[in-house]
């Protein structure tokens, strides 16, 4: 029993340094993904990355771990669960219920594959982020009082989160509508934020988790927001380059993920 108590105390002591290390890894990997390595998602899938598996199954496996780890450590933690903390819980769980159970079964990807390397790396990524955020809120933090609802951080953060959620879901819905049943090719998306960006869905998700980091205002959420940007910006840039290379009339003024900038 003493052994487990010592482990628990050690994790609590080194939690913040671990998150800073996690953030440092994201910062180091960001330029590597941006300039040298294209992750084998979707249109970039390649046999050179080794084994592959059913795309839908892979999506469920890699997304559900974030839901389970966050919910498990939040609900199982010793902290009092206050009203603001339940809002954090609902936002996280709602996002990952969609990503784990709804979105994968709406995609028209029958017969498509996803690299096992990507699935495994995403499982690691989602495990760490789900655990760190669930554990921090469930056990480590001082419980947020109801007054937090009136703080600038919560008001600004929830507004950013909602805008990002709207952009993400609306863009995903549009992309899903482009491909008719049985079709496997790609088309040029048009309209809405696609007028300005190749990947507004990724832009929306970055806004979501930036908003979450602001509204909850803690190091674990900041780490997840930084990792989200470090993963999705290079992916969007790769998609943008692919569109330009494969469509002669692709809009040249359209940016990859940040309007008018990148």
The pLDDT tens digits for 162-178 are 999 999 999 998 888 88
Q: Report how far apart, in Å, the C-alpha atoms of 162 and of each of 56, 79, 180 are.
A: 27, 27, 29
Q: Report how far apart, in Å, the C-alpha atoms of 11 and of each of 68, 99, 140 are.
A: 20, 29, 10
Give a yes or no: residue 252 inside a domain.
no
Alpha carbon 155 to its chain's center: 22
Q: Cα–Cα distance between 42 and 15 in angstroms, integer?
A: 35
Structure tokens, 10:
């050690």
Give a yes or no: residue 78 inside a domain.
yes
Helix extents (H) in the chain:
2-35, 55-76, 83-97, 103-106, 116-135, 152-178, 200-216, 219-246
User: Residues 46, 108: contact at Cβ < 8 Å?
Assistant: no
Residue 123 has pLDDT above 90, yes or no: yes
Per the structure, the complete domain to which residue 170 belongs is given by 2-246
Angle at 77 between CA 72 and CA 78, to 5 degrees: 160
Q: For residue 200, which of 230, 166, 160 has the smallest C-alpha distance?
A: 166
Give a yes or no: residue 259 inside a domain.
no
- Pick the residue with more confidence: 115 or 124? 124
Of the listed ranges 148-157, 178-187, 190-199, 208-217, the least confidently predicted one is 178-187
Radius of gyration of the chain (CA): 19
Q: Cα–Cα distance between 133 and 140 in angstroms, integer?
A: 10
pLDDT in tens, 68-120: 999 999 999 999 999 999 999 999 999 999 999 988 888 766 667 888 888 99
Terminal CA-to-CA distance of the chain, rounded, Å? 53
Helix extents (H) in 77-199:
83-97, 103-106, 116-135, 152-178
Give a yes or no: residue 256 inside a domain.
no
Angle at 221 between CA 76 and CA 10, to 5 degrees: 55
> Which of 34-43, 231-240, 248-257 has maximum average pLDDT?
231-240
Give a yes or no: residue 96 inside a domain.
yes
Give a yes or no: residue 258 inside a domain.
no
Q: Cα–Cα distance between 132 and 77 in angstroms, integer?
A: 12
Q: Within a 10 A sphere around the Cβ of 111, how many other Cβ atoms?
A: 7
Give a yes or no: residue 260 inside a domain.
no
Position of tokens 């890894």?
25
Q: Which pLDDT does position 115 carry in this prediction?
A: 84
Q: Which pLDDT does position 83 carry in this prediction?
A: 97
Give a yes or no: residue 257 inside a domain.
no
The percentage of residues in the chain with a pLDDT greater than 70, rounded to a whole number, is: 88
Q: Which pLDDT does position 145 carry in this prediction?
A: 96
How many domains are there within the chain? 1
């Amino acid at each position: 029993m003493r052994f487990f108590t010592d482990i628990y105390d050690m994790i609590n002591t080194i939690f913040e340094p671990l998150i800073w290390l996690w953030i440092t890894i994201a910062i180091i990997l960001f330029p590597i993904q941006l300039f040298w390595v294209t992750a084998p998602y979707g249109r970039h899938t390649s046999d050179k990355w080794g084994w592959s598996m059913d795309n839908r199954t892979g999506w469920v496996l890699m997304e559900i771990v974030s839901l389970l780890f966050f919910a498990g450590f939040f609900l199982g933690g010793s902290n009092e669960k206050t009203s603001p903390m339940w809002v954090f819980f609902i936002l996280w769980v709602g996002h990952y219920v969609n990503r784990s159970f709804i979105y994968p079964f709406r995609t028209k990807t029958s017969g498509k594959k996803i690299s096992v390397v990507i699935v495994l790396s995403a499982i690691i990524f989602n495990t760490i982020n789900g655990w760190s955020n669930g554990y921090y809120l469930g056990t480590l933090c001082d419980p947020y009082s109801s007054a937090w609802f009136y703080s600038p951080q919560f008001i600004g953060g929830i507004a950013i989160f909602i805008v990002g959620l709207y952009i993400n879901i609306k863009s995903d819905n549009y992309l899903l509508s482009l491909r008719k049943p049985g079709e496997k090719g790609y088309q040029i998306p048009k309209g809405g934020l696609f007028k300005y960006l190749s990947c507004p869905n990724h832009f929306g998700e970055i806004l979501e988790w930036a908003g979450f980091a602001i509204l909850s205002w803690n190091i674990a959420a900041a780490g997840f927001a930084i990792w989200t940007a470090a993963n999705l910006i290079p992916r969007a840039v790769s998609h943008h380059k692919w569109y330009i290379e494969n469509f002669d009339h692709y809009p040249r003024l359209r940016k990859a993920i940040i309007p008018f900038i990148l």
